[in-house]
Amino acid sequence: MFLKKIELSGFKSFADKTVISFENGVTGIVGPNGCGKSNLTDAIRWVLGEQSGKSLRTGSSMSDIVFSGSESRKPVGIARVTLVFDNEQKIFDSPFEEIEITREIKRSSGESSFYLNKTPCRLKDIADLVMDTGLGRDSLSIISQGNISSFADARPEERRLLFEEAAGVAKYKKRKKTSLAKLENVHANLERVQDHIDHLNEQLETLREQAQKARQYKTWKEELSGIEIALLARQISACEESLKKCTARLEQNQLDESSAKVRLNQQEDQLEQLRKQIFELDQQLSMDQNTYTKTLEESYALQRRKVEQDEKRKYAIDHADDATRIASLKEMLTEAEFEMKDRSSRLSEMRDRLTQTDAQIRQLEHAMHQAQMDLSSNQNHLNSLQSRKMVLENRLAAPYAHQQGVQAVLKARASLQGIEGAIGDLLRSDVEYAAMLSAALGGASEQIATRDDRCARLAIEFLKRSRAGRATFLPLSVCKNRSLFPDQQIIADHAEGILGRAVDFVSCDQKYGILASHLLGNILVADHLKNATEAAKTLKYKVKIVTLDGDVVHAGGSMSGGSRKSSNNAAMLKRDLEEVKTSIEKGTKKIQEITSSISDLSSKNNRLSENRIQLRIDYEKLENIYRLKKEKVDDLQAQLSSLNAYANTGSSVIEEDSLVAQISEIHARLDDLNSMIQVSRTSRSELASQADSLEGEIRQLRRTLSSLSSEIHSDELEKARTETRMEQALMRLNTDYSLTFEAASEYTCELAEKEANSRVKKLRSQIASLGDVNLSAPAQYDEVSAQSEFFESQKEELEAASSKLLDAIDEMDQSMIVQFTEMFNKINAQLDGIFKAMFGGGRASLSMTDPENILETGIDIDVQPPGKTVKNIQTFSGGEKALIAISVLFAILKARTMPLCIFDEAEAALDQANVERFARYISRFKDQSQFIVVTHRPGTMAQCDTLYGVTMQKDGVSRVLKVLLKDAAKMSQSNSQSS
């Protein structure tokens, strides 16, 4: 016994779990048409790996084998079939004595799962297990009526497959197929290896020349480097010496400036003190003059009184005409009052002029103080602008000095391949768009464009080898034209403030148009940030937008902006430099204007001060005259009153003497006051002279300070330039040669400066004459040589593998030829006897269509039934063909024992006599093979040892039960009647 049992669940019409146990001998499966008995054969084929839905009589999908339901039964979700085999005789190559193979499929996914002894496995594992056991998917162990017809009607080449299965050469064919695939792979690898070898040999020829050029370049470059390092060391030493002198001169000028500022402050304070003293003297003079005037008035009053006394006495003596005197006095009084009023009006005007002059002086002093502060502030700002100008000029001369890697590549571009330049230099714009372009490019402006990715890799290797820093490269070969999507372009065209795409504002060489499009083709430009944010919102933040001021709304919604950081973009640097130069011109002009204004203000102040002093003196004189006129008016009024009163009394001699004494005292006081006034005026004149002298010294100090400031600025510029030259030299040492100044100082050059520069020029010309130099050529040559040797060894190994595989294939071919020939002869030897038994005589034989090509020959069957001539199988009737095919199958079974044979209505086309012969012949083999026969022919049933009946009720579900022979006959009769 080989197949012990089969378990079905959900498979086709077997909706319920069904278990069929098999015994030794012949087991028959009977039942009426449509009951599902052939589904048992399909189940066995399915478990053993059948993948064809047509062979399993299903629909287009394998999941159709799952029970789909009926009017009274619901469909099930999974189909599962298990075969249990007895492996005591080790038919299967497995240590287990019982083999259980299960396959299941789910309706939902349509995917099959396989299990071997309940362990998940692959279809391939099942196929390998049953290979050469006679149970393969295309084996002769499962024979149906369709197989019989197919075998009889098959072409000789197709019929050969059955004989190959019988010969057991499937494993050889599989191994041969694998070996041929390996051989094909080996040949493909050989072609690839040979292509590599050919390509490497071409490279070696090129690299040999490049390596020679690289060695010459290295020799000249080392000499050039030695001279340049020595010259740089000399330059740095000279710069250090110059810096020492410049620093000492700068420090001295700064000390002189500080000392001059101290002196200026002191003299300005001293001038302020002098002006204060002059003001106090002016006040004292005014007081003294007032006192002098009052004393003079007292003198005049006493003299008038004395005159009155004299006149009274004279009046009394002379008895003059009073009427005439009165008239005369009135006329004199009128004239005196007119003069007094005139002096009063002039005094008022002079007071206004004094007040106005004082206000003007205060305004001038405030303006001078403010102008001095403006001068200092503008001078500091101008110094800052000069420093900024020098920095920008240096940066414009070396825009990528802070990017060591970028600067190193750009300096070495003559010796590198395909270096186009920094992107910020390749893409240009007008000055007004410089900020926009800088913002649009961002960090890409400092990237280096290369011809292709190979040139970028070579440049990176150069940076690594020379330890010159890092840089980012963009190969032109990877650049693509970029633009907005059509819907985005439509929105941009109608958005307020959108000026266009950034690429439209850029100019560049034609070859860099793809670079501009790659970086700027999908970036929009807006006039200002508000419109940029509105447009970005409309575009759902999927497009980057930059403004003319350099603000950015990034794709995604983030924004960047604010004051601009200094850029390395040449246009931006030039723009900043022009702005700084313009500011310097304006600042210089402003300082000149302020200096001129201070000089004018100082002159005006001096004139106003002098005018004020003169006005004060004139005012005091006029004030004295006014008092005299007023006293005269008062005196005339008194005389007139006295005359009108006919005063006729005289002064006593005592009163007259007293008046004379008082007048003498007042005259003495007047003399003292006049002396004091003269002394004050002399002192004021001296102080004014000192103030004028100080003002001259202050002007000279200011000129000195201005000169010192210019010298200091000049020294600072020279120092900065020297420091820049020294830093550039140090940077060259570090960037180009990875050396410090101390290390460079050890390099010596016997040549003088002029000769050294001449040699440098010649070496550079020689190096330039070499053209592009592949510095890595020697190493590449060694590397390619090693690769060539490696591929040669690979070629030898592959050729050896190919020879070995060909030998193995030849060996397998010989084994298949031997086994196939032996099996063919065995089957052919058995066929004639079986044919005679099945046909009651006659003869039959097999023949090869191409005996010279055993591996591919077809199989023909030549048959001579009793009493007839020899014919090919194709010329017989259907029943005869079936009997001939069955004869061949029995011949195969006799030549090679099969552990299990399944006949699914294979004898359906035979008549009753031949069915009985067929059944009897099966019985002859039941001791060596297990037979399962699906049939409805009584003759076949009669030879079965065990019978199972398959029935189907109205629910559309197949059921299995053991039956007796008589019941099987009834089923067969029922089947015949239904037919």
Name the binding residues for ATP.
32-39
Place of tokens 């000129």: 703
Please identify which residue in the block is written with the tokens 């071409």. 202
What's the rounded Cα separation, in Å, for the pair 576 and 431?
10
Q: Distance between CA atoms of 723 and 716, rounded to whole angstroms? A: 10
* Strands, E assignment, 444-547: 448-450, 473-475, 498-501, 523-526, 544-547
> CA 707, CA 691: separation in Å to the nearest integer?
24
C-alpha neighbours within 13 Å on the C-beta side of residue 5: 7
Of the candidates 5, 50, 57, 7, the one whose C-alpha atom is nearest the C-alpha of residue 27 is 5
Phi-psi region of 490 (alpha: psi -120 to 50; beta: other; left: phi over 0): alpha
Q: Which two tokens stand for residue 16?
A: 């319920």
Element (H, E) at 436: helix 434-441
Amino acid found at 289:
Q
DSSP letter string over 17-30? -EEEE--SSEEEEE
Closest CA to 489 of 479, 476, 478, 503: 503
Is 720 within 8 Å of 390 (Cβ atoms)? yes
Q: Which ranges of 319-403 does DSSP label H, i.e. alpha helix?
A: 322-397
Q: What distance in Å separates the CA atoms of residue 957 and residue 936, rounded to the nearest whole number?
A: 20
Q: What 8-state DSSP symbol labels residue 502?
A: G
Query: Long-range CB contacts (< 8 A, 24+ apart) of 320-329?
Result: 322/643, 322/646, 325/643, 326/640, 326/643, 326/644, 329/636, 329/639, 329/640, 329/643
Q: 529 with 447: CB under 8 angstroms?
A: no
Whether residue 846 contacts residue 859, with contact meaning beta carbons closer than 8 Å, is answered with yes
Residue 99's beta-bridge partner residues? 85
Which amino acid belongs to residue 837? A
Could you list the residues known to form a binding site, using ranges.
32-39
Q: Can you name the residues that pair with 322 across neighbouring β-strands?
A: none
Q: Which residues contact 276 (CB under 8 A, 6 or more apart)?
A: none
Strand pairing partners for 121? 114
Residue 686 φ then ψ, to 5°: -65, -45
Tell me the one-letter amino acid at 36.
Answer: G
For residues 818-831, one letter each, b for 16 or more C-beta atoms within 10 angstroms of the residue's C-beta and e for the rest, the string is ebbeebbebbbebb
SS3 assignment, position 584: helix
**Which residues, including other chains, have CB under 8 Å from residue 638's CB and lie 6 or more apart?**
304, 308
Q: What angle do CA 182, 187, 190 make, to 5 degrees?
A: 125
